[in-house]
Amino acid sequence: MDFGLSSALLSLVGIPCQRSLATNSIKLSFDFREREKGRAYIWIDPPWRLTEHGIYVTSSADWPVWDGKEEPEINRVLWECWCSLFDPINSTTLAEVIVGAPLPDLRLRFNSGHEIEVFGNRIEDYWWYFRDRVTGEIFEAGSSGITRELAQPAEN
């Protein structure tokens, strides 16, 4: 890792997080001590997998595809059940962050025994990115490596 990504990610170790899901992408927001929306977040695009103590829980391929309109009495329940698999992430802290080399695969280990592994499968676009809402730093990781840019800090 370069550009300060290592220290940025290590600053999240021991910090509680909250997860949110957008179809089969994951957003992990960290450090809510001073900011309502958190200090930083990691956005993860597929493919990824979630394990607990080395046992498979779910992956990006398992998400229940649903447009929100067809068969809501079935699909809403499937979506809510799938989302509940991630609930333990909201009550734990990050224990370790590992970024692969030469490809920037990502492994997030949590104190609960859960682990999210991100591994790219395409050349275009990024696989995951980190944003520090206070400094405006954004690190994007994909097949060509990790890039850094500086955006405006978030207001809240």
pLDDT digit string (tens) for 83-102?
999 999 998 999 999 999 88
pLDDT at residue number 68 = 65
Half-sphere exposure of 72 (CA within 13 A, CB side): 2
More confident residue, 103 or 155: 103
pLDDT at residue number 67 = 67
Q: Note the Cα 71 to chain centre separation in Å.
A: 29
pLDDT at residue number 38 = 83
More confident residue, 48 or 6: 48
User: What length does the chain have?
Assistant: 156
Q: Note the Cα 3 to chain centre separation in Å.
A: 20
More confident residue, 71 or 152: 152
In order of 25, 52, 110, 134, the CA distances from 130 in angstroms are: 14, 23, 17, 12
Rounded mean pLDDT of 23-49? 91
Mean pLDDT rounded to a whole number for the chain: 90
pLDDT at residue number 73 = 82
**Pair 30, 16: CB distance under 8 Å:** yes
**Pair 130, 5: CB distance under 8 Å:** yes
pLDDT in tens, 66-87: 766 777 788 888 999 999 999 9
The answer on pLDDT for 3 being more than 70 is: no
